[in-house]
Structure formats: C-alpha cells, structure tokens
Structure 1
Amino acid sequence: MAPPRSRPWGPILSLLVLSPLLIGAPWFTVRKHYELPEPVKELVNPVTSLPQLSEVQILSYAQYLSEGIGYRTVGTSEHALADKWLLGKVQEMKKECEALVNQARVTSGTARKLECEVWRQEGSGSHRFDMMGKRLYKTYVNLSNIIVRVSDGTPEGKEHAVLVNAHLDSTVPSPGAADDALSVGVMLECIRVLTHTPGWEPKHAIIFLFNHAEESLQDASQLYSTQHPTAKTVRAFINLEAAGTEGRELLFQATSEEMIKAYSKVPRPFGTVLANEVFSSGVLLSDTDFRQFELYLNITGLDLAVVGNSYLYHTRKDLVEHIQPGVAQHMADNTLALLHYLSEEGSPLPSLTAGYHKPSTVFFTHLGQFFLYSANTAKVLYGVLAAASLLFVRYTYRDPWAALKKANPTNHYGVWTAQFNGVYAVSVGFLGALLATNGLAAFMHRVLDKNMSWFSVEMSALALYGPPAIAGAFATQLLIPSVPERSVFTGMLLTQAIGAFVVQLCGFGSAVILYLSAVPLLLALVTDHMFNDGPTVSLWTYAAAQLGPLLSGTQVLCTVFDVFVPLTGRIGREAPAEHIIATLVAVTGAYTLPLVVPFAHRYGPSFVLPAVMFLHFTTLVTVGIFSLWSPFDTMHQRRLFVLSSDNITSHERYLHIGAADGAPGLDALVYQISEQFGVPGTTAEAEEMNDWNGDWDILYPFSSFMSPYKIPLPIEPGFVSPFAVGEQQFKVEAVNDKIDEKAGTRSFTLKIVHPGIIWTVVAFDAHVLKWTLDDSPPDEYTRHHVKEGSFYGVDTWSMDMVVKIPEGDKDVKSRSEISINFMGMQESGMWPGKKRDKAKGGHAMVLFEKLDTWLTKHTDDRVDAMLVATVGGVVAV
C-alpha cells in the first residue's frame, strides 16, 4: 500500500466530517422508501363530492373475510360461505350500477354508457403444475369464480379487456387478511368508485376476477383462463397479491413494455427491473396466478404484491390488525390509476391482440420517482459512460511517482498499469468482504450453533456482518502491492462503468444499479480534477461520489433484506441461510459504500491495521450479543408444520412434525413434544424426505423443505377411524378395469371417494401411457403425484388411465397391480381454522387444542403451528 502522507484531516476527523452524509442520506432514503399515503376514511370526498377509495372500507371487507368468515381453505365450509357472500356483494353492486345508469338517463336525458355484468362460474378441470423441480398434476371438481365485467355495454367496448385478479381463498394455516382478502377489498372498492363517478364511461372493458382457488395451486385462474367466455377478450392483466402486511406494494413481475409504461402512470410507483429479474429467475421459489394467465391466455401483465413484514405470510397472524395503515390505500390508488389508463382512449389493449413480446425495458423507482427507458437506450447510456470514464482516466492521469522516477513521456503504460492495479485492489477488497462474512457465517452456524440469530429484525444482519465485511475489505489491502489512492478511485469507476455496459449487453436490465453508482463517481472525479491539483483526492470528492451509492444502495438494502431475511424462515433446514444473508450483506454493502477501499489507501497501513483490529473487536462484541438472541419472538415466529395422521390401512396414528428453517432448537422441541404427547416409552423418529414419503403428500412439493419427524400417538382401545368404514369411508379403487395381454396394457378408471376429506392426493409408480388429465404423462416408469382441490361437499373424483404392464415372471394380473399412496385433510380437522366447530374434528382436534396451548406456553408464543388432521393409507389396485 502507499505510505501515509500528511492530510488536512486524519481518518477519524474525516469520518466525522463525512458522518452527516453517511447517516443523513440513508435516514432520508429509508423515510422515502417506506413512505405510505394517509389512509382515506370517507367513501365520498367532502370537497368534490366525488367517490373516493376508502382504506377503511377495504379493510372492513378484509376483516369480514378473514375474521367474520375465517380460514377460507379450498374445500371447506368457510370457503363456500365466502363464495356466497361475495356473489351477493357483487350482485348488489350490479343493481347499484343499473340504478346509476337509470338516474343519469333521468337527470341528463342521455343514456350513460355503462354496463355491469356478473357471472358465477363453476367448472371442473385439470392442469400440470411443475414447481421446485418437481412434476405435479392438479385436478379439481366444481370450483367457482366470481366475475364482474364493467364496460360501455357495446360489442366494441367488450372486444378488448383488462383483467384484474385477486383470490378469495386462504391457505391452510392462515385467515388470509392480507393474502388475499386485502386485494379482494381493493377490487370491490375500485368497482364502486368507477361506477359511482359521474360521467365515467370505459372505452375498453374491465374484468374483475375474484378467483376462488389460488392457494390450491392456481386451480381457479386456470379454470377461468380455459373455460370462461370472457377470457378470450382479455389482452392484459393485473394480478394483486400479498406476501406481507407492511410497506408499499411492489411491482415484481412485468412482461411487456406496454404494461410497464402503464405502470408509470400510477401515483406512487414502486418497482425495479432487478426485482423483476430476480423473481423470473426462480430463485425465490414462489408463484402466483400470473403463471396461468401467461400460459393459457398468452397475455402480458403486472404482478403486484405487498411484501413488507412477510414474517406473517401464510401464518395465523395474517390479520387486519397487522396490516400497516396506508398499505391498502397505496394498493388501491395504484390499481385504480392502472384501470383508468388501460380502459380509456389511447389504451395499449387493442395493440396486444397478437400476444406480446417480453420486455427489454429498464425501469426503476428512485426516491419515489419512476424511470423507464429501452434496452437500446441503456446500451447507449452505459456505453457512453464507459467510454467517457476511459477517456477521463486516460487524459487526466497523474503519475503519483513522477518526482521519484523517470516517467515515460507518453505515460501510456503508467496509466493502464495503474488502472489495472486499482481494479485489482477493488476486486480483492470485494473478495475479502465475501470471505470474511462467510467465514463468520460458518463460525456462527457450525461452531456456535447460533444460526439465524438476526432473523427477527431484517436489518440486524448488517450489525453482525457489516464490520467483518469492512474488515475483510481493509485486510486484503495490506496483502497487495502499493496502489495510489486516485488509482483505486478510478479503478472503482472503471469497474462499475464498464460492468454496467457489459451486464446490459448480456441482456440484464439490473445493470442500472451499477450505472446509478458510476455516474456520480465520474462527476465527482471530474469536479475534483477541475478544482484539485493535488496528488490526492479531495475529501469533498468522497462526499459527492458517495451520495449516489448511498441513496440507491439504501433502497436496494431495504428491499433485499425485507424479502430475503423473512424468506430464510421457510426455505428449508438444509438451505445455507447464514451464508445467504452474510453474502447479501457483503454484496449490498460493497455497492452502498464503494469508497471503503479507496479510503483505506488514502491513509495507508498506519490507519488500516488499527481499523482492522478495531473492526475485529467490534465483531467479537456483536457475535457475543447475537449469540444471546433468539431468532424468534411473538411477531417473528418459527413455522411448525404438524400433521396428525390416521392410516386407515395400517391402523396407526402418528404426529408428523416438520419445520422449514435452519435455526437451532427444532430437535429439542420435537423430542419434548414426543415426551408430552407421544406413546410412553417411544421417541420421535427422524424421517427422510423424498418423493416416496407419502406422509407429507398434501404439501407436496413444498414438503421438500421439511425436516420431518414422526411420533407414535396412543390409540384408544377399540378405536376405528370413521374414514375406514361406513358412509365416510375414504376409498381408492379401480373400476372399468380391462387388461389387454397382447398389447401389454391395462386400462381402468381410478376412482377416489373422500367424504369429509379435502385436498386429496394420490401418488404411485407406473408407466402411464395415457390419462384424462390435462397433460400427457412422461413416457417412462416413474413416480406420479396427482392432487385434488374441489368445492365444499364434493366427495368424488376420478381419472382414466392406460398403463404399461411391467414384464416379469408373475401372472399378468399381479404384474399389473399398482400400489397407490393416498391421503387428504380432514375438513373438520384444522386448528385453529375449525376452532368454532372443534367437536366435529374428533380426537385430532382434542390433541391440537392441547398441543397449541402447550406450544404457546412452552415457547413464549414463538411458534406458529399449522395443525392439520390427515387421513390416508396404501392400497393396491
């Protein structure tokens, strides 16, 4: 490293001078990042007397659905009640719409071009649903959708429509206030405001789809897309979702330039091409109804979701009381603006009749402002920046050793050698930060067994891994040859400017984040060259160059950690959560504070060595503090998945327990549950999770994340499951069975009868040649999973199959037999979703009530348990 020189200010004083910027810029950015509109209470604006979106009204709908009706799992009686309530609500709105049209005719003498139509769609079908590298088939019977079309009443006005979608159902362990009753409320409010606005007449139709089965793997959106007559008129869609309860609604998928342009019209945009590219890469292992509209309608759309505080996502605490004030207003205001733009004259909908092309548009929100431009524009901008940076470096280079050596007259060699050394120093610093943070992550996880100690506070990981990241960047500079400060500064500029250009050439719009950092860096260096003729970079140049990365980097930090920290609680026990977060701290930290490495070279080893020692001491202190923390608390709970299973063929009862995180303490908790509730003298047994573990098939393929255990449960003398015999018998059988020995095939109908059982699934090994599902089976002997999700009261489904009979010595009938693993959820056996009717759930609900009380007390309410009674077995057909 370069030897230290005298400075107007030393490193401590310099940091103090820079501290207002280093503290103030992130503080300002965080305030802007999380800024939400004031909630509106009144249905009508008291000044203009015009209808307005009311957050109070939206949340009243969400509260009734999530608490008045409750857990609306597909196939339950609550799901049917929600269907009935919503149908009544939109029919009431249709009457109001007709009354408004008649009123306009009376008061003005002219007919208002406004028509509201309502459908309750009901249908059956099937579709393939691959996820997490697994092949899965879905089938459903008598599922429903509620559809409202608002148009000008003419055939021309209905020819091109925009679809806005939300789902009415909630998932198994959650009342679903945010996910997705909030979006249902937003759509109802949009219908009211649009139709009650005097003189509003849509040029193009708006179709509101209240789909009734998203959580059962998007059955209802597939039903609408393939079977409803209005689907063929849809040119684009807006999907409203929630994976959290706080913060602004994020645009995380956009699939055409036209729809991104439409989004730019909303009053409070929040989205980046980075989020779009991360989600489309599949790294988040999540999905929405977006998939079905793209796949079956070949249309473009926007995927919008509330993502802040996703600790409550799919938990029993997804309640209205936890939805942050302003969230509903933000979603509603943006949705209404999109619907206005897409339904009016000049809308892009008519141009989307031939499908769409995925966008290459660069878009991002910066401090509340939305920017978008084409990929070609990005290439020009970034190319110009890279060229300008190279030219600036070439013609403004100052040889720091000119007085100590004979300089080359042209100085070409010295310029690029210096820049190479600068880039090398920057790269080694980044590598050092990665190694240091991941080294600490390994220590926290493997040595201290304190994995995920930062879990309950999204940004707390910065306190744990920030100091070692800077220490790693500093320490590596002590190991490399001397590099002048200015060369490291310009090396950082070239790394970011050229990096932005190259990444954009590779087709990734996320290159914009490098561009946003490199531009202020170049401007600061130009200013420094104009006013500073000294051998070092001015401290004010640091301030000017650092402002841009602080502003953009803080926004990246907030979004990344809001998404990924809670996500580590549901990505599986074997996932390297500690290393993921440590790496994100190093990467986002390097982006937000790019001038750490040049600053190290500004003061040399006499500053860097003590700084490294101080940062190591700080790390020891933070490690000690974090080692005392529990990853979980009452609002940031561990997710525990608990199944009480009745095997009606082996007549065994087990408590199956799994978790989807790598935090410590699971083994001890499971063994304590085993001692408390299991058969005396037995203990919990760890299971292997694979495609042949049928105990968890109701959650397949998400069960891949589980770390499963099973605990034998006591069985009362003389107990016989009501699903094993009698009117409620759960049966899987082959009917219409025929064997063609010459062709070596067997054809039959697999019939499943499941009174009182929902979400049934069958899994079997066979070489299926044909079946009546919506996708051809693979041409091989393999494992198949077929899952069902149907309307309340539906107790039968079937599928026709032709299978290849395996060769062998046994008789053809024996060889043609197929072993079927079958299971489902007891409709009355879900806690606390069925708490009000717990007597109907039998012994499972008695167990769940006791277990839930024990867990709350024993863990200080740090566990959110999904408690579900399952019924299943194995039968040869």
Structure 2
Amino acid sequence: MSTPPRRWGPVRSMLALSPLLIGAPLLAIRQHYLLPQPLTELYDPTTNEPQLSEARILSHAKFLSEDIGYRTVGTKEHALGDEWIVNQAKELDEICRKARSRNPERKIECEWWWQQGSGSHRFDMMNKRLYKTYVDLTNVVFRISDGTPAGKADAVLVNAHVDSTLPSPGAADDALPVGVMLECARVLIERDGWEPTHSIVFLFNNAEESLQDGSHLFSTQHPIANTVRAAINLEAAGTTGPELLFQATSEQMIEAYSHVPRPFGTIVANEVFSSGIILSEDNPTDGRDSTDFRQFEQYLNVTGLDMAIVGNSYLYHMRKDLVENIEPGVAQHMAENTLALLLYLSSPASPLPSLATGYVKPRTVFFSHLGAFFLYSYSTARVLYATLFVSSLLLAFQIKGGFRGVGQLAKGVGAVVGGFLGALMGANAVAVMMQRVLGKGMSWFAWEPACLGLYGPAALTGALLSQYLIGHVPEHTVITSTLLVQSFFALVLQLLGVGSAAMFFLTSAPLFVALVLDTLKITRTGDGVSLWTYALGQLLPLLTGTQTIATVLDVFVPLTGRIGRDAPSENIIASIVAITVSYTFPMVLPFVHRFGRRVSARVVLLLSIVMAASMATFAMRSPFDGLHQKRMFIIHMENVTSAEQHLHIAAADAAPGFDTLVHSMAETFDAHGMPPVSRKFSDWDSEWDVLYPFSAFLSPYVIDMPIDEEYASETSASAGKYVTISTTNDVVDEEQGTRSFTLVVKHPGIIWTAVAFDAHVLKWTLDENPPDEYARHHIKEASFYGIDTWSVDLVVKHPSPSGSEMIKVNFVGIKEQSMWPGKRAEKQFGGSAMRTFEAVDTWIEQETQGTVDALLVGCIGGVAVV
C-alpha cells in the first residue's frame, strides 16, 4: 500500500503560496495606478489630426494657479481669471470660425456667453440652515452644436470651476479640469470629420468654492439651461492617480461611462459618497451635495456623472496645490475619458433625447477591475447571487453529509464571524492605545499605506486569537463556512438594494469554484484541502481587495487631517484596515486551522511581537512632513465695535502637538504674554462665520493682539472701517405686529461677508420657507470684485420675544487685501493683518520645519443694531 503524500508545514506552505501573495497585490497596484503616457503635441505627428495634449492642459492650469494666482471669489485675481476664460472662449470661437471656413459643408456651430447675475439660495449642511446671496457673479458658457434647433434641443453639460478656495492656488482644484475642458473643446472643433448630433455645453463657472454660486447662477438664470439633459462635473481633490467616477445618478449615464477608454470607478465609491459618510470641513454636506452637481440635480433635475482626481489629496485646498505636484498622466487620463464621454453623448447613439422625459435611477452594478469595466442590472445580480448562495448551500450539505453537518457548519460560521470581530477588536484596541495611552495619534498620516503597517498586524492578531479561543475547527469546514457567509451577504445586501454586494460575489464565486474542484479531487493530492484550493480561493480577493484598499486609503487617510479634533480618526482608520484586510485575506482563517492550535498559538505570539514592535516604531513617527502638512486656520480679527484685535487659531485634526504649538505661539505674539484661551463654538460665536458651518470641525484658541498703532492712521477701504449695516424702507405695522425693512450691508474692500441675527422671520427674499419660529439666521455673501453692497428684504414679527424692537446683527468679512500668501505681493496694502501674518508665517515655518500649512486671513467684525 502506498503512503499518502505528507502535508507541508506552515512555512513551506507559505513559501509555496508566496508568489501569489506577493504577485497578485503588485499586479493590482500597478493596474490600479496606471496612467496613460502624457502627450505634448497638439497634433498627432503621423496623421496631423488634433489630439489631447497634457502639456497644453497643464499650461492652462499653471497660468490660472501661478500667473494669476489665488482666485478667491471677490478678489482682483478672481476677476482676472474671469477675464482670462473670456479670452479663451474667444479663441475657441475663432478656431471654430476657421474650421467652418475650411469646410463650409461641415455642420458645426460655436456660441459663447458671458453670463453675469445675482441671486440667492439655501445651502443646508451639517444640520445647519445657511443662506447664500451673491451679486454680479459671472460664468462663461460655450456651446458646440450642429447649428440646428433640433441639434440644440438636447445638450450634455460639462462643468469645471475657475475660482480657487481661500488658502490655495488651485492648480488641480480646479484649474486642471478647466484645462481639460478647453482642450476637449479644441480637439472637437478641429476634428474635421466630427459633427455633433446633440450639443455640448461647456460651463466654466466662476464661483464653486463660495458654495456653488456659479452653478446655481447658470442653472436658474441662463437661457440655454433648460436644454441640458445630463451633466458631467469635473473636480479634483488630489494631484495623483486616475480620475475616479464617484457618483453616477442614472443607468443611462453609467452605460455612457462604459464607453470611456480608461474606466476607473465602482458602485462602492458611488454608494459611499452618496451615503454622506465622507464629511470634513471641505466636504461638509450629505455626500452628493459637495460639488456643483448638487445645483444641476436640484434646479435642472438632470442626471449625470461626478468625476474627480483623488490621489494624494493631502494637497487639497492647500498652498502646494501646484502644477509641479500634479503627477504626469493625470490630466491625460481625465481628458481622454471626458472626450470619449462627449463624443458618445453628442452622437446619434446618445441617450440625451430620452432623458428629456426623465431618467432611471441607478439599478446597475458597475465596477472597474484591472482596467476592464463591468456592468449588469440589479435583476441579473439577484439571479447570480441567489444561484451562487443556493449552490453553495447544496455544496456544503453534500460535503458535510446533509443536515447532520449543520452543527459543524454553524461552528465554522461562528469561527468566520469571530475572526472578523476579532480583527475589528484587535485593530481598535491598538487605536485606543496609540491615541489615549501613548498620545501618538495619526502617526500613519504622512503615507496612505502606512496604517496597514500599524493596524494590519493588530487586525491579524485579533482574528487569529479569536480562532485560538474558539478551538479547532476542520479547515474544510471553515472554508465552506466562509463561502456560505460571503454568498449570503452578497444575496441579502443585493435584495436590500445595495449594489456594493458585488464585492462579496467577487470573492465567493472563485471560492465556490475552488471548493468544487477540491470536492471532485481535481486539485486535491492526498488528504485534506489542497494548496491549489487556497490559491484559487485567494486570487480574486487579493486582486479586488488590494484595489479597494488603495482607493479607500487614498480617500480616508488624508481626510483624517480635516474631520475635526473630536472625530475618532484613529478608530476610523483602524476599522477600515480591519475590514479591508479581512476582506482581502479570507483564507487566513482556514489556513491557521489547517495546522492546529499549537501552531495557532505560536502565530499569535509572533504577531503580538510584530504588533508591539509596530506600535513602538509608529510612536516615534511624526504625523506630518513637508508634503503631508497639518492644516491650521488663523484669523486676524479686528473688531470695529470694540476696537480689539485677536488671533483666532484652530486645527481640524486630532494629531498631538497642536496645543503645545499654540501655547508657544502665544508666548511670542500675545500682547500680554498670557496663555491662549480655548474656545468652544456655538451658532452665536461670529468670529468664524466666514467659514460657518465648517467651523464646527475646528478647535479654536484666541490670542490677544496689541493694537497696531499704524492701524489708527489707515484710511484705505482695506482697513475695514467703512462696513455699515443699515436698513431702508423700514416700516412697522402695529396692527399686524410686523416690521418690514431692507437690510443693507455695505462692505468696501471686504469680501465673503456674513451676517447672523435672531428674529422670527415671516418672509424674505432668500427663499419662500423661512423657519416658522424665532431662530438664529446665517446669511453669507459672495460678489464680483469691486461690488461692495448687498441687501435682503425681510418681514419679521414685531416686537421680538425679548421685548426689544431692535435686532442685533453680528457681521464679519474678509479683507480682500489681507489674505496670506495670496496677497503677499501687495502686503503693504493689507494693513495690520498682513504685517502680523508675515511674522506669524515665518515663525510657523521655522518652528515646525515646514510641516504646517496655515490659512491666514484678515477679518473685520462687529455688531450693529438695526
């Protein structure tokens, strides 16, 4: 009788599987971050056909972000950006005229508009009511059509914003997408054989960062807005990697996206974003509300796609959002996908005409995988997942001898669930140790994958410790139970309408195949489960899980630097690592049961040592460096009512060291050498109202500043001495118990003004539904450069519940010439704030070795009674 082959031990087995365990993640990472070769020439050297040029796109981005600079709405630079985009529209129009003259028979027409208008809209976020009003803001609109009324009837809108936010030059956000749109328009116009069946509307909106005023202006006031049937919004929250499809709102547009040459997006990102989980001071709203797409969806009732660059989002809304930090190939990737979408949506095969009567909300599973794009309907998914689950049950019963094996399977399911819970508990226990015991939170921040090194061993330790406590379970039972658990979740989640159930289908389907082959003894040699079963069952989870880990960490790790000091960022990242690692390595649990409790105990001990060494190593790391900086928010506040001046300083992360840094700053800059005063925000603290309600994420301190003697002699508008809050048309109706008036805010030299007051508003010109109660109201303004007056008409109950006939109005605004470093070249006009900022910025740079990026804005504020 022959002797069955001896089973390999754990070390030899691991060595046999190592090519898979190393090669599959490397392949997935390579494909995940693969970018096209950037092109430099405007025309193909061989065919002389027009082609998308990354060099041209980046030249546009560089001009906007560096030659013009910080294009904050209301500044001179914002006006220069508007002028530049008008000139670009004129150049495109001239290219179009020449194209028509070369081929008079070609059906192509170009039109453009410079839109200017005023308006207001409600912008609720973070469970706060906020109202926006804007005066004389602008957009540039460029349309390409076949010149016929029928060709103009149904349009696809593609949008990017020209402005940048307060502390950032905005090379990626959003000058790069602006360059992409300009280059797509040029290539379409110069492509002689192309004629659009349906029109394309390019919207270069000039006020996204001031809470989507530009897109609201277009959606509510432009004469061709009602022709838009679908919208493509181009954004950037980072500077590296492929552009991510993170929101798709109809089956038609998902199908349209399937035609792009380099798809990159999944229904998981779509559902996570739409859930509102991703919240920060830069993305404070319910998921889908954080981009211009909100306005198109709300006011035009259209479907569409939201696409953004998300890699290396450490630089998002930071000073180093510069062209030099944009990875080669990023612009090419976004441009090629955008052009493909526009070609398809303007073609005879386009779904645009059908969208005129409405669209079908997504019931489509879609995902990109190793460069390929897959999509299928929810009904198909239910059939597939139900078939897999039932087949898995039948296979399990066949393997375990029918219902007699139910008890053993139940123990196996308990082991699988216990392993997952153990991973969560292990990772979160280390998170508590790092944050609360060692005081070394966010030590992984400066490199997205670093948290795997800290929490990966902890998750594995917790998972394997749970198996040791559960006791031995036959490996075949654990594998079968893993299949049942995953196929069950795939089916149940899909029945609940969660398209992300596809993730479990992708891991359970190959495991089912592996078990079938093992049962048929096709892959088995001798007794027990073959290593081929492990290889087949682990391959797709490795590929899918690695891509998922990369995407999730790219988004969530940098985000922890801006979700607020009170947010449990350490536990969030620990949980993400535990969940994604458990998903990526489902075969770890049966593998450890393969060798018994003795080996399991040794592995747990070894992992515990690795975990302790990892904690010690990370405890010595600094969370920040020169390209992964801490965000600080500093406001130089001049109270024109009390004549006091203060520095308000805040951070939006839980990393250690901020309190020490602020105390050191107070020793240098406080007027009396006193420690800084810690503050807690409420809706009645107006100092941070220019950032309201983002300010809820901040943990502020206050430093007293000496009265700047030079300020007393400043007579320019930038000194902030001429802001006035007054009323006109003020009428009290004693019989009705109401007071009607127009609140007028005059703010020469001041931008982004905000007012807050308490009143029972019955009617106003902001919207038709003011709260039917005495409440706190916040109104924020954004206007074009040089516009210094805005107003709102109100009818309020009179007198107020307090018995006073007057209303106290808190006001605050940003000095247009007092923003550092955006106005550094004109610092002599910025008054006391800029003199302070120059010293503070130099001090921060020296004190932190360049690991802090500070938003430095000079504000004026005060109280008026009207």
- Normalised by the size of structure 2, how large is the TM-score? 0.97
- The answer for the alignment partner of 1:219 in structure 2 is 213
- The alpha carbon displacement at 1:246 in A equals 0.2
1:726 Cα offset (Å)? 10
2:506 is aligned with what amino acid?
A: L
1:412 is displaced (CA, Å) by 3.3
Report the counterpart of residue 348 of structure 2 in structure 1: 345
Q: Is the 8 Å Cα contact of residues 472 and 596 (structure 2) preserved in structure 1?
A: no
Residues 36, 329 of structure 2: 8 Å contact kept: yes
Aligned to 1:242: 236
Is the aligned partner of 1:741 residue 2:734? yes
Q: Which residue of 1 aligns with 2:488?
A: 498
Q: 1:253 aligns with which of 247, 254, 259?
A: 247
Select the residue among 825, 829, 851 that pairs with 1:862: 851
Q: Given residue 657 of structure 1, which amino acid in structure 2 is its aligned partner?
A: I
C-alpha contact (below 8 Å) 2:382/2:494 kept by paired residues: yes
Whichever residue aligns with residue 246 of structure 1, its letter is T
Question: Which residue of 2 is the match for residue 404 of structure 1?
Answer: none
Q: Is the 8 A contact 1:697 1:761 kept in 2?
A: yes
CA contact (8 A) 2:718 2:817 kept: no
Instruction: Check whether the contact 1:723–1:729 (CA below 8 A) recurs between aligned residues.
Output: no
Instruction: Give the Cα separation in 1 of the matches to 2:721 and 2:334.
Output: 45
* 1:806 Cα deviation from its structure 2 partner: 4.6
Tell me, in whole angstroms, the C-alpha distance in 2 between the residues paired with 1:727 and 1:619: 56
1:172 aligns with one of 166, 174, 177: 166
* SS at structure 2 position matched to 1:747: strand
After superposition, what is the alpha-carbon deviation per residue over 1:308-334, rounded to whole angstroms, capped at 9, x for unaligned?
000000000000000000000000000
| Alpha-carbon shift at residue 207 of structure 1 (Å) | 0.3
Are the aligned partners of 2:252 and 2:359 in contact in 1 as well (CA < 8 Å)?
no
Of 174, 194, 204, the residue aligned with 1:200 is 194
Report 1:1-16 matches (<5 A): 8-16=7-15
Equivalent position amino acid for 1:211 in 2:
N
Confirm whether residue 460 of structure 1 aligns to residue 453 of structure 2.
no
How do residues 35-54 of structure 1 correspond to structure 2 at under 5 angstroms? 35-54=34-53
Instruction: Give the match for residue 829 of structure 1.
Output: 818
Q: 1:534 to 1:97 in 2, by over 3 A?
A: same
What is the CA deviation profile of residues 310-362 of structure 1, one whole-angstrom value per residue up to 9, with x for unaligned ones? 00000000000000000000000000000000001111000000222321110
SS of corresponding position for 1:209: strand
Aligned-partner Cα distance in 2 for 1:507–1:429? 27
Moved more, 160-169 or 537-546: 537-546
Hey, what does 1:710 align to over in structure 2?
702
- Cα distance in 2 for residues equivalent to 1:807 and 1:48: 75
Q: Please, which moves more after superposition, 841-850 or 220-229?
A: 841-850
- May I ask how many residue pairs the two structures share in their alignment? 851
Residue pairs, 1:843-862, within 5 angstroms: 843-862=832-851
Q: CA distance change for structure 1 residues 344 and 610 in 2, over 3 Å: closer, same or farther? A: same
Matched residue, 1:783: 776
For 1:204, the aligned partner's letter is H
**Residue-by-residue CA offset, 1:8-52 (whole Å, 9 max, x unaligned):** 211111111111111111011100000000000100001111000
State how 1:685-704 maps to structure 2 within 5 Å: 685-704=677-696
**Within 2, Cα distance between the matches of 1:491 and 1:692?**
56
How far off its partner does 1:626 sit? 0.4
Q: Secondary structure at the match of 1:778?
A: coil
What SS is found at the alignment partner of 1:479?
A: helix
Matched AA of 1:617: I
Question: 1:122 Cα deviation (Å)?
Answer: 0.3
Q: Give secondary structure in 1 for the equivalent of 2:465.
A: helix
Q: Which residue of 1 aligns with 2:642?
A: 650
Whether contact under 8 Å (1:642, 1:868) holds in the other structure is yes
Decide whether the 8 Å contact of 1:723 with 1:871 is kept in 2.
Answer: no
Aligned partner of 1:424: which letter?
A: G
Contact conserved, 2:250 with 2:359, CA < 8 A, in 1? yes
Structure 1 window deviating more from structure 2 (865-874 vs 730-739): it is 730-739
> Is the 1:254–1:301 contact (alpha carbons within 8 Å) kept by the matching residues of 2?
yes
Report if the CA contact (8 A) 1:128-1:775 is conserved: no
The structural deviation recorded for 1:690 is: 1.8
| 2:563 maps to which of 571, 577, 581 | 571
8 A Cα contact 1:159 1:233, kept in partner: yes
Match of residue 146, structure 2, among 120, 143, 152 = 152
What residue number does 2:56 align with? 57
Matched residues in 2 for 1:186 and 1:775: separation? Answer: 39
- 1:6 deviates by 10
On the 8 A contact 2:719/2:831 being kept in 1, the answer is no
Q: Which residue of 1 aligns with 2:65?
A: 66
What's 1:319 paired with?
322
Structure 1: which amino acid aligns with 2:391? A
> What does residue 516 of structure 2 align with?
526
Task: Please say if 1:182 is aligned against 2:171.
Answer: no
Q: In the alignment, what sits opposite 2:574?
A: 582
Counterpart of 2:473 in structure 1 is 483
2:322 counterpart letter in structure 1:
L
What percentage of aligned pairs have identical amino acids? Answer: 59
For the pair 1:670 / 2:662, whether they are aligned, the reply is yes
Partner secondary structure for residue 164 of structure 1:
strand
Q: Secondary structure at the match of 1:42?
A: coil
| Counterpart Cα distance in 2 of 1:340 and 1:166 | 18
> By how many angstroms is 1:875 displaced?
1.5
Q: Give the Cα–Cα distance (whole angstroms) in 2 for the partners of residues 537 and 574 of structure 1.
A: 48
Cα distance, 1:419 vs structure 2: 1.4
Change (3 A) 1:618 1:235: same
Matches within 5 A, 1:497-516: 497-516=487-506
Distance 1:849 1:56 in 2: 35
Between the aligned partners of 1:182 and 1:724, the Cα distance in structure 2 is 34
Q: 1:746·1:816 contact (CA, 8 Å) conserved in 2? A: no
Taking the aligned partners of 1:484 and 1:809, their CA distance within structure 2 comes to 74
How far 1:536 moved relative to its partner? 2.1
Partner Cα separation in structure 2 for residue 657 and residue 180 of structure 1: 27
Structure 2: distance between partners of 1:874 and 1:75: 23
Which of residues 354, 359, 365 in structure 1 aligns to 2:357?
354
What SS class does the counterpart of residue 520 from structure 2 fall into?
helix
Give the drift of 1:728. Answer: 5.4
Q: Sort the Cα spacing of 1:451 and 1:193 in 2 relative to 1 into closer, same or farther, 3 A.
A: same
- Asked if the contact 2:635/2:857 (under 8 Å) is kept, the reply is yes
Aligned counterpart for 1:294 among listed residues 273, 293, 297: 297
Between the aligned partners of 1:148 and 1:632, the Cα distance in structure 2 is: 43
User: Which residue type is aligned with residue 765 of structure 1?
Assistant: D
The 2-side partners of 1:615 and 1:646 are apart by 56
Q: Is the 8 A contact 2:244 2:265 kept in 1?
A: yes
Cα distance change, pair 244–567 in 1 and its aligned pair in 2 (3 A): same
- Corresponding residue for residue 402 of structure 1: none
Query: Which piece of structure 1 moves more, 412-421 or 595-604?
Result: 412-421
Aligned pair 1:372/2:375, yes or no? yes
Q: Give the distance between the partners of 2:356 and 2:650, measured in 1 at CA.
A: 47
User: Secondary structure of 1:240's match?
Assistant: strand
Rounded to whole Å, the distance in 2 between the matches of 1:34 and 1:766 is 53
How far 1:864 sits from its partner (Å)?
0.4
Is the partner of 1:597 in helix, strand or coil? helix
**Counterpart-to-counterpart distance in 2, 1:724 and 1:338:** 48
Separation in structure 1 between the aligned mates of residue 589 and residue 743 of structure 2, nearest angstrom: 67
1:351-393 Cα deviation digits (max 9, x unpaired): 0002223211100000010000111111011111111111111
How far the C-alpha of 1:841 sits from its partner, in A, is 0.4
Give the match for residue 287 of structure 2.
none
Name structure 1 gaps, 5 residues minimum.
106-110, 398-410
- Specify which of 786, 789, 792 is matched with residue 785 of structure 2: 792
What's the counterpart of residue 139 of structure 1? 133
TM-score scaled to structure 1, two decimals?
Answer: 0.96
Note if contact 1:266-1:338 (Cα within 8 Å) is conserved in structure 2. Answer: yes
Give the AA of the match of 1:73: T
Contact 2:427 2:575 in 1 (8 A): yes
Residues 624-646 of structure 1: CA distance to partner in whole angstroms, max 9, x if unpaired? 11011000000000000010010
- Measured in 2, the distance between the counterparts of 1:718 and 1:843 equals 7
Letter of the 1:572 partner, please give it.
G
Deviation per CA, 1:772-796: give whole Å up to 9, x if none. Answer: 0134211111111100001000000
Using the alignment, how far apart are the partners of 2:802 and 2:11 within structure 1? 85
Residue 120 of structure 1: which of 111, 114, 119 is its match?
114
String of CA shifts for 1:159-209, please: whole Å, max 9, x gaps. Answer: 000000000000000000000000000000011100001121100000000
